[in-house]
Amino acid sequence: MELVIEKLRKSYGDNLVLDDIDFRFEEGKIYGLLGRNGSGKTTLFNCLDELIPYDSGRAYLLENGREEPLSDANTGLVLTECQIPDFLTGYEFIRSFMEIMDIDEKDKIDDYFRMISLSKEDQHKLIKDYSMGMKNKIQILMYLISKPKVLLLDEPLTSFDVIVAAEIKEILKEQKQGRIIVFSSHILELVQSLCDEIVVINNRKLILLDSEKIHSEDFEETVVEILKNENRKDLAAEEN
């Protein structure tokens, strides 16, 4: 299975953000998505999750030679700013989510909460009283339960403490088989320790970093140089 992006283009007025992107993400891997602030990471995720329309091009799943359009059924997006109803408890929300998704595993709900280390007491608190980290745990749990083929994570671990972030990293590694996981972050050490492949948004396109560079001593230097080159191109364009 592959997530295929062909000639995807997105602009906001005169501001071109994504420029005829061509890329393929492969099943069974966690991809790190790196880029400067405003480079288009969130825009790309929003396009793939169909939260915003793109100008041209297309994106789809390719499995056994058959194309499948991206949809709510096969794509999940974990946002930086968690958007879940705060008038329910965590337990009520997850139970309702499972009912809406027609997931007949009510007997496993306690197991799911154990996956994200959420105590019984916290499960039955109103979400409005949750910390941002606890809300993001619930958001991630939704997609661990529904198991979409494509999971997009927009800097979800930044709200977690060190221990919880390490736990979620291990869960994602365990869950990558049969899925495509794309993870954006500005923390190089986090991406380096979690991801199988690293993609950089450079000059409004996606560039796959040489896999040998991921665990090399000059990894940070390599990424920074790519992003600096993008900035130089932008400045040159402005001057012209």
**Residue 91 CB neighbours (<10 A):** 18
Q: What is the DSSP letter of 13?
A: T
Report the pLDDT averaged over residues 24-43.
90
- pLDDT, position 218: 81
Report the pLDDT averaged over residues 169-195.
86
**Residue 150 CB neighbours (<10 A):** 23
**Whether pLDDT at 11 is above 80:** yes
**Whether pLDDT at 226 is above 70:** yes
> Is residue 138 within 8 Å of 61, Cβ to Cβ?
no
* 22-26, 35-39, 49-53: the lowest-pLDDT one: 35-39
Write out the DSSP string of 36-64: -TTSSHHHHHHHHTTSS--SEEEEEEEET
The two beta strands, 66-69 and 15-26, are unpaired
**What is the rounded (10 degree) CA torsion for 93, 99, 101, 104?**
120
**Whether pLDDT at 212 is above 80:** no
Residue found under tokens 């019984």: 120
* 9-23, 83-97, 102-116: the lowest-pLDDT one: 102-116
- pTM score of the predicted model: 0.86
2-239: CATH topology is: Rossmann fold (3.40.50)
Residue 221 confidence class, pLDDT cut points 50, 70, 90: confident
- pLDDT, position 54: 93
Strand ordering across the sheet containing 15-26: 15-26, 2-12, 56-63, 66-69
pLDDT in tens, 125-179: 999 999 888 888 888 888 888 889 999 998 877 667 777 778 888 888 888 999 9
Residue of 99 and 165 predicted with greater confidence: 99
Sequence letter at residue 193 = S
- pLDDT, position 237: 41
N-to-C CA span, the chain = 43
- pLDDT, position 219: 82
Q: Write down the mean pLDDT value for the chain.
A: 86
Report the pLDDT averaged over residues 206-212.
85
> Is residue 233 within 8 Å of 36, Cβ to Cβ?
no
